[in-house]
A and B are shown apart, each in its own frame.
Chain A
Amino acid sequence: MRRFALIIVPYAWLVALFLVPFLIVLKISLSDPALAIPPYTPTLDLAAGWAGMREFFADLDMENFTFLTTDDLYWKAYLSSLQIALISTLLTLAIGYPIAYAMARAPDHWRPTLLMLVILPFWTSFLIRVYSWMGILLTEGYLNQLLLGMGVISEPLTILNTNTAVYIGIVYTYLPFMILPIYSALERMDDSLLEAAEDLGCSRLTAFWLVTIPLSKNGIIAGCFLVFIPALGEFVIPSLLGGSDTLMIGKILWEEFFNNRDWPVASAVAVVLLLILIIPIVLFQRNEQKQREIDG
């Protein structure tokens, strides 16, 4: 009974804040659009009793999901989102790993400070940080002024409103999520392992490849998922930094909801996005579970 009482709290939380909203979205995705408030039909009329309930379920259909397959905009947006999320995850890994490595190798008394510096950007609003990138990447922005001033380029670069700006924005925003798990894996590593590898005939580079990389594998996997999952559904960064040709599913979702006011189709897009995300989330959970088993 006590166990039940303890476990009910997180479950109640999940039901109230995840399952119920999801069921509402799912229900809307099965409805038809309407010029009304709320802008879809049918709505459940409890006063009509059993008959009303039957009528309500009879009106639900998969029409919106079929619609998603007929217009190639949607699957193109899904694919493009996957591509952008994947590339920016790899970029984040390429930048985050050396930073995490340097942090883990830094003298002990420096580490808390470095860790603080990685977390520090979270203290400012995410939106403001993305806005400030607009100021940097603008045609007459700080970056172009700096490069022109140094004489590196003669014509200002067009970065803002391109996919490049989206990559920069995603890499910048999610870098801490990559650094922190890798750092935590590297920091736990015993330095004598590298000495042992060298003693047994490895060069520094092979020791890194055969010992450091495998031992930080779980950190790398965790970091990649922590970047990939939110990047896939990212909306703010592509809409602020991306151009008109940047196709991301988060942006489509927003446009369906607020520009087209087609809530049922928007909900269908959201449900499919969630189904796509479930695969990496499940893989991520398995990785975490395996790590816990090894740590005992």
Chain B
Amino acid sequence: MSQITFEPWNDPSAKPLIEFKGVTKRFGDFTAIDNQTFDIYEKEFFALLDPSGCGKTTMMRMLAGFETPTSGKILLSGQDIAPIPPNKRAVNMMFQSYALFPHLSVWENIAFGLKRGTMPKDEIAARVEQMLKLTRLEKFAQRKPHQISGGQRQRVALARSLAKAPKLLLLDEPLGALDAKLRQDTQFELMDIQEKTGTTFVIVTHDQEEAMTVASRVAVMDDGRIIQADTPAHIYEMPGSVYVADFIGDVTIFEGRAKRAEGGYHIAFAEGHDSLFAASDLDLSEGQTAYLAIRPEKVMITPERPEGARNALEGKILDIAYLGNLSTYHVALSNGQIVKAQTANTRRLANRPFTWEDSVWVSWTDTAAVLLER
């Protein structure tokens, strides 16, 4: 079985759909986007993740045409889009509030963009029917937006923005207004629709789990800059900085001095504790401050020191977070550092081997932790 992996960003011959070239956007003294250069490829599902700032929304509004860059250029299929007004761009947007026209029915909402062009009436009708089918809204075609549920409204907004078959679809926090269960279902639906239509999606979200689920690549932004843009797996397993590691998922960070060893480094993180070993290709100077990031599910928790483990620390269980399928243990070391360890609850709760205040050992393999410079 041969499966072609979808990774145009690793293919130097691939032509990007969107190119940001040194784009900066300032509002007064405030810099929302700081000199950013990056590419988005055709058929990508690109997620912009910005935990705090407004950079992600600004980025999206520049693509839609509601803002213009202070400096730099944005190219769509190699063409500078700065002089093209929003109503002439082959870019459509799904708004955070959905922005459905309350005076029009679901059918008319979806047809709204199509009617603005020169498309003949019967083709418009056929296209709307197709969109209704895609989003499973056939039964609600004649309803007004206030007569349908939040999840249905979200699908109308999606159908409306897809109707014109844009080259690029922008989704601004598309699932923000839905409850957790519906959000999960809709995430898969979104991926499904993206695959079926082959449209390039750029999604803006503050929900890292959502970005990880739907996106082919995730760009983590901070302070108007993209810190790391990579596949969800790379972002999670190989974060480029403490900021990214800490933001995506759960992590324990050890700060210490690096000492070169074979195939990696020893990190001395506290007096009275053995130094930790991490395999790494980084080129660190002797004694340089480095950070060791370890995901809780890669940490084993045992009553005794495991045989032959190079990274093993003794501590006391401070807290147990029971999540149903998993339990996260917060283990306090003697220097006060907390190490998070996660285990699958394969046995019934009553048979849980550890409880509060138990003295335990946490350990992980040489390659489990990621060594970071900053």
B-binding residues in A (CB < 8 A): 190, 192-193, 195-203, 206, 210-211, 214-215, 217, 294, 296
User: Does B247 touch A at the CB level, under 8 Å?
Assistant: no
CB distance from A109 to the nearest CB of B (A): 17
Kindly list chain B residues whose C-beta atoms are within 8 Å of the C-beta of A200. Answer: 87, 92, 112-113, 116, 160-161, 164
The interface residues of chain A, by DSSP majority, are classed as helix
User: Does B72 touch A at the CB level, under 8 Å?
Assistant: no
With contacts A203-B87, A296-B146 known, is A215 near B102, CB below 8 A?
yes
Kindly list chain B residues whose C-beta atoms are within 8 Å of the C-beta of A296. Answer: 146
Given contacts A200-B112, A200-B113, A200-B161, 5 further A-B pairs with CB under 8 A are A196-B95, A200-B92, A202-B116, A215-B102, A294-B144
With contacts A199-B64, A199-B86, A199-B92 known, is A192 near B97, CB below 8 A?
yes
With contacts A197-B112, A200-B160 known, is A192 near B99, CB below 8 A?
yes
A-binding residues in B (CB < 8 A): 64-66, 85-88, 91-93, 95-97, 99, 101-103, 112-113, 116-117, 144, 146, 160-161, 164
B101 partner, pick from A195, A203, A211, A217, beta carbons under 8 A: A211
Kindly list chain B residues whose C-beta atoms are within 8 Å of the C-beta of A203. Answer: 87
CA distance A294 to B116 in the complex (A): 27
Find the B residue at minimum CB distance from A294: B146
| Contact present for A193 and B87 (CB under 8 Å) | no
CB distance from A14 to the nearest CB of B (A): 33
| Contact present for B97 and A190 (CB under 8 Å) | yes
| Contact present for A195 and B116 (CB under 8 Å) | no
With contacts A192-B99, A195-B95 known, is A201 near B146, CB below 8 A?
no
With contacts A200-B112, A201-B87, A201-B116 known, is A195 near B103, CB below 8 A?
no
Find the A residue at minimum CB distance from B102: A215
Kindly list chain B residues whose C-beta atoms are within 8 Å of the C-beta of A197. Answer: 101, 112
CB distance from A257 to the nearest CB of B (A): 47
CB distance from A216 to the nearest CB of B (A): 10
CA distance A200 to B94 in the complex (A): 10
Tally of A-B Cβ pairs under 8 angstroms? 59
Kindly list chain B residues whose C-beta atoms are within 8 Å of the C-beta of A195. Answer: 64, 66, 86, 93, 95, 99
| Contact present for B103 and A196 (CB under 8 Å) | no
Find the A residue at minimum CB distance from B170: A199
| Contact present for A199 and B93 (CB under 8 Å) | yes
Kindly list chain B residues whose C-beta atoms are within 8 Å of the C-beta of A214. Answer: 103
| Contact present for A198 and B86 (CB under 8 Å) | yes
| Contact present for A196 and B99 (CB under 8 Å) | yes
Interchain Cβ contacts under 8 Å between A and B, 15 examples? A192-B96, A192-B97, A195-B64, A195-B95, A197-B112, A198-B85, A199-B92, A200-B87, A200-B112, A201-B116, A203-B87, A211-B101, A294-B102, A294-B144, A294-B146
| Contact present for B116 and A190 (CB under 8 Å) | no
CA distance A206 to B116 in the complex (A): 9
Find the B residue at minimum CB distance from A196: B99
| Contact present for B103 and A215 (CB under 8 Å) | yes
Find the A residue at minimum CB distance from B91: A199
Kindly list chain A residues whose C-beta atoms are within 8 Å of the C-beta of B116. Answer: 200-202, 206
CA distance A214 to B85 in the complex (A): 24
A198 partner, pick from B87, B101, B146, beta carbons under 8 A: B87
Find the A residue at minimum CB distance from B117: A201
User: Lowest 10 A-B CB distances belong to which pairs?
Assistant: A200-B113, A201-B116, A196-B99, A192-B99, A214-B103, A198-B86, A201-B87, A192-B95, A199-B93, A198-B87
CA distance A197 to B64 in the complex (A): 12
B164 partner, pick from A192, A201, A202, beta carbons under 8 A: A201
CB distance from A197 to the nearest CB of B (A): 7
CA distance A199 to B160 in the complex (A): 11
Of listed B86, B91, B164, residue having the most chain A CB within 10 A: B86
CA distance A195 to B87 in the complex (A): 9
Find the A residue at minimum CB distance from B113: A200
CB distance from A41 to the nearest CB of B (A): 57
CB distance from A179 to the nearest CB of B (A): 22
Of listed A192, A195, A200, A206, residue having the most chain B CB within 10 A: A200
Kindly list chain B residues whose C-beta atoms are within 8 Å of the C-beta of A211. Answer: 101
CB distance from B227 to the nearest CB of A (A): 29
Kindly list chain B residues whose C-beta atoms are within 8 Å of the C-beta of A294. Answer: 102, 144, 146
CA distance A199 to B116 in the complex (A): 11
CA distance A294 to B143 in the complex (A): 12
CA distance A201 to B88 in the complex (A): 6
CA distance A214 to B104 in the complex (A): 10
Kindly list chain A residues whose C-beta atoms are within 8 Å of the C-beta of B66. Answer: 195
Kindly list chain A residues whose C-beta atoms are within 8 Å of the C-beta of B64. Answer: 195, 199
CB distance from B144 to the nearest CB of A (A): 8
CB distance from A294 to the nearest CB of B (A): 7
Kindly list chain A residues whose C-beta atoms are within 8 Å of the C-beta of B103. Answer: 214-215, 217
Kindly list chain A residues whose C-beta atoms are within 8 Å of the C-beta of B97. Answer: 190, 192
